Amino acid sequence: MRYRVVFMGTPEFAVPALRGLLEREEVLAVVTRPDRPRGRGWKPRPSPVKEVARSAGLPVLEPERLRDPEFLESLRELAPDLVVVAAYGKILPREVLELPRFGCWNIHASLLPAYRGADPVRWALIRGERETGITIMQMDEGLDTGPILLQKVTPIGEEETGGELYERLSRLGAVALIEALELHREGKLKPRPQPEEGASYAPPLKKEDARLDFSLSAGELAGRIRAFDPRPGAYTFLKGKLFKLFRPRALAGAAGVPPGTILGVEEGRLLVACGEGILAVEEVQLEGKKRLPVRDFVRGHALEPGERLGP
């Protein structure tokens, strides 16, 4: 028996799950956030999920408010067995949660109860986690607090960036969802309450959070740089201009100079003193310029030992 599913999602993260559902279940409609300005020209553009839905010929609902009576009536008329949510961007009200026969499932990019909230991928990197994963969760009215249906664990690569991990988890989320659906069909999916022990939160991160504080350890800075790669890019300032750092590695050693001091360029890596250890980065981007390997950047820009990065 194929389930009748309404899918709710917005960004690229949700696309693999939607494609997986289209292959196996009866997708009745897609709910996504209204078009928002993005990209060059800052013009309103459809979400990645809306683009996939359009190409599949699916009805698309774009409510500003999930309690809107017209939207709720549309959902009732669809009469879904299940609502699947992946990075939709809003907490579902009770009126939506109670509507489907099997409730609402969420694909969350962490091993709940760790990193509940909007930005679990980048926070896992910032906090130096060595593993993360996907949780398929039965939704309730809380913020990612519902019972766990299924989890998939994956290690985080030593040099993996936020963008790379986000993409990999989006694919893993699709795999986990399909497995959970099959187990549910067989009557083998057993919800279990989330433990309170180990609960943590991943609030939304802003561009200001990507600003580097060199009084931190090299390891902490490396995690933050990876978290904000590719967007918006972890940054400091070089001669008053915005200066982004990429492809970091934390090195042991004491620099003996104030944090943020450039120690030099060795083997194509910019070395910077930190509160603890030394930060080595392989790629940089100066304000208004392209992202470049350090060995190419220094051909046109001096990075003098003793110079300080920062405001």
pLDDT in tens, the chain (311 residues): 899 999 999 999 999 999 999 999 999 999 999 988 766 677 888 999 999 999 999 999 999 999 999 999 999 999 999 999 999 989 999 999 999 999 999 999 999 999 999 999 999 999 999 999 999 999 999 999 999 999 999 999 999 999 999 999 999 999 999 999 999 999 999 999 999 899 999 999 999 999 999 999 999 999 999 999 999 999 999 999 999 999 999 999 888 899 999 999 999 999 999 999 999 999 999 999 999 999 999 999 989 999 999 98
Q: What angle do CA 211, 215, 217 make, to 5 degrees?
A: 95
246 shares its domain with 176: no
Q: Is residue 64 situated within a structural domain?
A: yes
| pLDDT for the residue numbered 302 | 87
Lookup result for tokens 């080595």:
280
Question: The domain spanning residue 33 has which CATH number?
Answer: 3.40.50.170
92 shares its domain with 180: yes
168 shares its domain with 86: yes
Q: Structurally, how many domains does the chain consist of?
A: 2
DSSP 207: G
**Which structural domain, as residue segments, surrounds residue 131?**
4-185
32 shares its domain with 179: yes
Q: How many CB atoms lie within 10 A of CB 82?
A: 19
Consecutive H or E run containing 222: helix 218-227
226 shares its domain with 287: yes
50 shares its domain with 159: yes
Domain boundary among 185, 216, 235: 185
Q: Is residue 311 situated within a structural domain?
A: no
251 shares its domain with 143: no
Q: What is the pTM of this model?
A: 0.94
Quick one: tokens of 19? 């494609």
| pLDDT for the residue numbered 209 | 97
Q: What three-state secondary structure class fits 159?
A: coil
The answer to whether the beta carbons of residues 9 and 87 sit under 8 Å apart is yes
93 shares its domain with 21: yes
The answer to whether the bond into 63 is cis (omega within 30° of 0) is no
163 shares its domain with 80: yes
Q: How many CB atoms lie within 10 A of CB 216?
A: 18
Name the phi and psi angles at 192, rounded to 5: -135, 140
Domain boundary among 153, 185, 217: 185
Q: Is residue 29 situated within a structural domain?
A: yes
Q: Is residue 98 situated within a structural domain?
A: yes
Q: Is residue 193 situated within a structural domain?
A: no
153 shares its domain with 18: yes
215 shares its domain with 177: no
Q: Is residue 239 situated within a structural domain?
A: yes
Consecutive H or E run containing 253: none
The answer to whether the beta carbons of residues 281 and 225 sit under 8 Å apart is yes
Q: Is residue 303 situated within a structural domain?
A: no
Q: Is residue 148 situated within a structural domain?
A: yes
> Which residues have a Cβ under 8 Å from the Cβ of 122 and sit 6 or more positions away?
162, 202, 205, 227, 228
Consecutive H or E run containing 185: helix 162-185
40 shares its domain with 174: yes
Question: The domain spanning residue 243 has which CATH number?
Answer: 3.10.25.10
Question: What single-letter amino acid sits at 17?
Answer: A
